[in-house]
Structure formats: structure tokens, C-alpha cells
Amino acid sequence: ATIRATGRRLITSPLVDTPAGWQIDLADFEDKAAQASAFILCSPHNPVGRVWTRTELEELAAICLRHGVRIISDEIHADFVYPTSRHTVLATLDSDVDAATVTCTAPSKTFNVAGLQVANIFAADDDTRLRMAAIYRRQGLHQHPALGLAACEAAYGGSSDAWVDELVAYLDRTMALIASPTAHQLGAVRVTRPEGTYLAWMDFRALGLDAAGLRHMVVDDARLWLSDGADFGTEGRGFLRLNAAFPRATIDDALKRLARAVARVTA
């Protein structure tokens, strides 16, 4: 909706759900890149939880450079990467990719400071930075919140490293619990353990419920509020997104209630 509100046309290149996990359809991506002026990359990916490999990023970047497509790389979840994966900042691939990329980050997810309204946008290209600064001034965003700047500096100053490591380790154990096929007897509900983010992408399609039935089971019966997968595009129908950034006891209780609701549907 935001993209369309700016008078631009939204072009999508859906991911492919394969037995090996969510993959990029490079042929489709190249076809769409030939029609586009800019590409928004979500890395790590929200909601499916993929951490793109360096090879995947190199393939995407090469296509964008070939078609003159500017890249906006949303890397806000980069701190949440689990031991099986490694995050690569897209702009570090090479100087050509760096010049074509705007990288977006923020301390808001990692340190829960969204209310301080601070974020970071990095661009190597001087012209791009000047154009962004002009846009901010037109929108009245030329003044930065003092508390937000102080929080951002404190967050990335190095003293928080050990705390972030402990946070990610805790979330990794939580994700293992959520994705376990036996931990809470979710039956036909499929959960792929994410490589990054603190969000679990849950596949309810095998239950055969329509949108209203799925909402009734989760909201009215299990008394939970999960993000509707359809909010992320038509390909997300039948999926729900669970925010795992809670104490383990809260997640455990939520999964037990969900399992009971699923059992009642499939009985």
C-alpha cells in the first residue's frame, strides 16, 4: 500500500516453497527486474526466516546491476541470525553493488526501542545521500530525536555484544521448541525452523480451513493473536506468523493452547 501511495507500481517475485526450504525463483526475478527501477530486499527475510547465502545475494545483485535496478536492502533483522547461517551485508559484495545499494538498519528490533524512532540508512553514493536528505527536509524529518540517537550509539557501541549473543541463543532454543514436530503435538501444522529473525512462519494449509475458519480456531478457540500470512501477499494464505520474542513460558503456553485447538479441528 505504501509503494502504491507514492504513485509507483508494485511488482512481486514470490519465493518458492520447496522441500529444501524457501528459495528464490531467479528466472522470475530476472523477468521482473527487467520491468523495475528499484528492488526491495528483505535480508534476513521476514516472514519466512531465510538468511540468504552469499551466493544467493550475488545472483540477485548481478541481475539488478544488469538491468540498472537500484537496491534497497532492509537488514533490520540482521542481529537475529542463528548458528547454522551467516548474514552477509549486501553492500559488502563489491564496489558496484555498494554504489547501487541503500542499506536500512535500526536498533529497534534488537533492543526493543521502536518508540525512540531512530533508524539508519547507509548509502555510498553521494548523489543518493543528497537526494534522501532533500526528501527528509521536505517531510520535516531533518531533526533527529536526541534520546533515539543516544540509544542507537549505546546499542552499537560494543557494550551490548554479550547481551545480544545471549538473546540470540535464547531465541534459537525457543525456535527449536516451536519447530519440534513432537514438542506440542501440532499435528499437520508445519513449522520450518527459521535461520534468522524472531518470527516463526507456520503453515496451516493441511488443515483445509478457509480464512474465517483459521481465524476462529486461533483467535476464538486458542485465544491467540498471530499475524495473518495473507498480509504478506496472496502466497501467504493459510500461513500465520508467530512472534517468538517472549519468555519461554509464554511461548510454551501459547503452543499448548494452539495444539488443543488444532486437535479439536481435526478430531
Given its phi and psi angles, is residue 117 left (phi above 0), alpha (psi -120 to 50 degrees) or beta? left
Q: How confident is residue 158, by pLDDT bands cut at 50, 70 and 90?
A: confident
Least confident of 140-149, 195-204, 244-253: 140-149
Closest CA to 217 of 238, 192, 247, 245: 238
What percentage of the chain exceeds 70 in pLDDT? 100
Q: What global pTM score does this model have?
A: 0.93
Whether the per-residue pLDDT at 170 is higher than 90: the answer is yes
Q: What is the pLDDT of residue 177?
A: 94
Q: Taking the chain, what is the end-to-end CA distance rounded to the nearest angstrom?
A: 40
In this predicted structure, the answer to whether residue 4 has a pLDDT above a threshold of 90 is: no
* % of the chain at pLDDT higher than 90: 85
Q: Is 44 within 8 Å of 37 (Cβ atoms)?
A: no
Mean pLDDT of 136-161: 87
pLDDT reading at 3 higher than 80: yes
